[in-house]
Amino acid sequence: MKTLKLFLVFAFAIFAANVSAQQKKYVMVIHGGAGTILKKNMTPEKEAEYVKVLTEALKAGYAKIKDGKTSLDAVEATIHVLENDPHFNAGKGAVFTHDGRNEMDAAIMEGETLMAGAVAGVTTVKNPISAARAVMEKSEHVMMVGAGADLFAKDAGLEIVDPKYFWTKERWDGLQQAIKEDSTKAVLDHGSKKSELLGSKNHDYKFGTVGCVALDKAGNLAAGTSTGGMTNKKYGRVGDAPIIGSGTYCNNETAGISCTGWGEFYIRNVVAKTISDLMEYKGLSVDAASKIAIEKVGKMGGDGGLIALDKKGNMSMPFNTEGMYRGAITADGKIEVSIYK
């Protein structure tokens, strides 16, 4: 009898260890854009640069979580690293509009309160994600655009820069290339199946929109997205990133979600809120819901990806492109960074 008891205790311990190994708890997920990102187009040096920045970004957010700070603080700190790095299409490194300007969009949302803030078409705020947070915390509104949003950010005490700060040669060359190919078309900075179908050679696979979802010690989720949008965009075009429910959404009851890809398809499919709804009303897991949403975008002819994290620390990172810059960190600080399929 005693041997049987001992055996049962032992067997249970092994079973429990296996279950916990399978159910890794993630506290943060990030992306740096999805698109035509192929290993054959990447040098080992470039690849190492991406891995380094993505790792730094994860560490910046993780430090906040470990410190007991909020998931909002973690999302903001993480996105600052990515916005300040020219590898990505956000902040420094944002793509150019047809008129040769950098007009940036960003959104942030809190899962506990469903409070949200967004800015679109800002040109002088160094870190648009902080402007989105200021809209959420320091105004009665959810979204501000253009010159008004820039002024609000200045009045809120955020760092304002000369628009020249956002100029990078790669992005400028990308605009000239896009105009040469078809001056009427806006293109994704990192290339896409659709831009290839349209005959575009503008497959600048080096950059991308950025996003982050974090889960803090109090069990609250937050999500944020920041982007320069699409190269050669015109007439004040706004993408999905700052539209709550399309490119960005967060609800503690379901998940935090940040998208990247052909914005118009994400807006028309209300992708982020659809994932949340599939979880809330149909009881789907974060992974099942995220995959359904991406499949729908693909069926309509759009491409891209997304990251999602639920309150229990389950994550999903589906994409229908060749690659997506992405990373995750577990509660015990284990970092995972991937680029290709």
Active-site positions read 209
From the list 18-26, 152-160, 240-248, 286-294, the region that binds ligand ASP by CB under 6 A is 240-248
CA distance 136 to 263: 22
- Site for ligand ASP (CB under 6 A): which residue of 256, 261, 302, 318? 261
From the list 113-121, 130-138, 223-231, 307-315, the region that binds ligand ASP by CB under 6 A is 223-231
SS3 119: strand
**Angle between helix 271-282 and helix 286-299 axes, rounded to 10 deg:** 140
Rule CB under 6 A: is residue 86 a binding residue for ligand ASP?
no
From the list 7-15, 48-56, 222-230, 318-326, the region that binds ligand ASP by CB under 6 A is 222-230
Rule CB under 6 A: is residue 239 a binding residue for ligand ASP?
yes
For residue 166, give the DSSP letter. G
Rule CB under 6 A: is residue 245 a binding residue for ligand ASP?
no
- Site for ligand ASP (CB under 6 A): which residue of 125, 241, 243, 289? 241
CA distance 254 to 250: 8
- Site for ligand ASP (CB under 6 A): which residue of 27, 119, 122, 230? 230
**Start-to-end Cα distance in the chain:** 52
**Cα separations in angstroms, 39 against 47, 235, 326:** 9, 35, 15
From the list 145-153, 156-164, 257-265, 292-300, the region that binds ligand ASP by CB under 6 A is 257-265
Structure tokens at 325: 């810059």
From the list 7-15, 115-123, 159-167, 258-266, the region that binds ligand ASP by CB under 6 A is 258-266
- Which residues between 7 and 66 bind ligand ASP (CB under 6 A)? 33
- Site for ligand ASP (CB under 6 A): which residue of 70, 89, 97, 269? 89
**Cα separations in angstroms, 298 against 133, 173, 208, 321:** 31, 29, 19, 9
CA distance 50 to 158: 27
- Site for ligand ASP (CB under 6 A): which residue of 208, 224, 256, 313? 208
Using CB under 6 A as the criterion, what x/- string covers residues 145-184 for binding ligand ASP?
----------------------------------------
Query: Which of 241, 250 has the CB closer to ligand ASP?
Result: 241
Q: How far is the CB of 228 from ligand ASP (least distance, A)?
A: 8
- Site for ligand ASP (CB under 6 A): which residue of 70, 78, 226, 227? 227
Contact 65, 217 (CB under 8 A): yes
Q: How far is the CB of 140 from ligand ASP (least distance, A)?
A: 26
Q: In what order do the strands lie in the sheet with 248-250?
A: 248-250, 255-261, 304-310, 315-316
Q: How far is the CB of 59 from ligand ASP (least distance, A)?
A: 23
Closest CA to 312 of 275, 285, 277, 282: 285
Checking 280-286 for CB contacts under 8 A at 24+ apart, the result is 280/251, 280/253, 280/254, 285/310, 285/314, 286/254, 286/255, 286/310, 286/314, 286/315, 286/316
Query: Which of 215, 267 has the CB closer to ligand ASP?
Result: 267
Contact 298, 292 (CB under 8 A): no
What are the two backbone dihedrals, phi and then psi, of residue 339, each rounded to the nearest 5 degrees?
A: -125, -50
**Residue 192, amino acid:** S
Contact 260, 306 (CB under 8 A): yes
- Site for ligand ASP (CB under 6 A): which residue of 91, 93, 245, 263? 263
- Site for ligand ASP (CB under 6 A): which residue of 86, 93, 121, 229? 229
- Residues within the interface to ligand ASP (CB under 6 A): 33, 89, 188-189, 208-209, 227, 229-230, 239-241, 247, 260-261, 263
